């Protein structure tokens, strides 16, 4: 499982790890949001939990995302290892802004409709991660803390080696 704030590199790391060890990856955002051309609509926590349970029936998986809701506890408990990506705040802000510009310029695709409103929300979510979400994540991983590996730099992500 790969967790962390917006702009921490979760999706990039999940894609790279997935390709390296031939294990499918899943984005929590796609379990939280029902994607529509007219705008995303949230699934209920019950629906999100059911979608997660389907993924967890697979022998091997990589799940990445930022949520700290109780319904992800099953994934945390089932994970062999939990990576918390936590690069410096300024790098995350740069990545969020860079991603937004690339999406507006049609140089990068998104599962959502980029907007100034969403950009502002991402910056707020990023800011709140270390003030609120990290403590919620610690509670969820309390019984699984030995599985938790904190990676604070790109070099740490790229140099991580698996035994598979």
Q: Which long-range contacts (CB under 8 A, 24 or more apart) does 11-16 make?
A: 11/64, 13/64, 13/83, 13/85, 13/157, 14/62, 14/64, 16/157, 16/158
pLDDT digits (tens, 9 = 90+) for 82-94: 999 999 999 999 9
CATH number at 29 reads 3.40.50.300
Residue 101, pLDDT score:
95
- How many independent structural domains does the chain possess? 1
Asked whether residue 164 is assigned to any structural domain, the reply reads no
Asked whether residue 57 is assigned to any structural domain, the reply reads yes
Query: Smallest Cα–Cα separation from 137: which of 47, 28, 18?
Result: 28
Domain interval for residue 63: 2-159
pLDDT digits (tens, 9 = 90+) for 122-161: 999 998 888 877 777 777 777 767 888 888 875 555 555 4
For residue 36, pLDDT beyond 90: no
Q: State pTM to two decimals.
A: 0.83
Residue 163, pLDDT score:
45
Phi, psi of 15 (to 5 degrees): -60, -45
């Amino acid at each position: 499982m790969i967790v962390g704030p917006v702009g921490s590199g979760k999706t990039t790391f999940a894609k790279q790890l997935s390709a390296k060890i031939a294990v499918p990856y899943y984005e929590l955002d796609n379990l939280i949001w029902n994607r529509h051309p007219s705008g995303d609509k949230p699934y209920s926590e019950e629906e999100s939990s059911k979608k997660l349970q389907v993924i967890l029936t697979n022998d091997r998986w990589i799940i990445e995302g930022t949520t700290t809701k109780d319904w992800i506890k099953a994934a945390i408990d089932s994970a062999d290892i939990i990576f918390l990506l936590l690069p410096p705040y300024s790098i995350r802000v740069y990545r969020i802004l860079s991603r937004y510009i690339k999406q507006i310029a049609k140089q990068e695709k998104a599962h959502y409709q980029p907007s100034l409103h969403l950009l502002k929300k991402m910056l707020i979510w990023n800011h709140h991660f270390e003030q609120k979400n990290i403590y919620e994540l610690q509670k969820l991983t309390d019984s699984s803390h030995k599985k938790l590996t904190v990676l604070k730099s790109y070099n740490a992500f790229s140099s991580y080696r698996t035994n598979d």
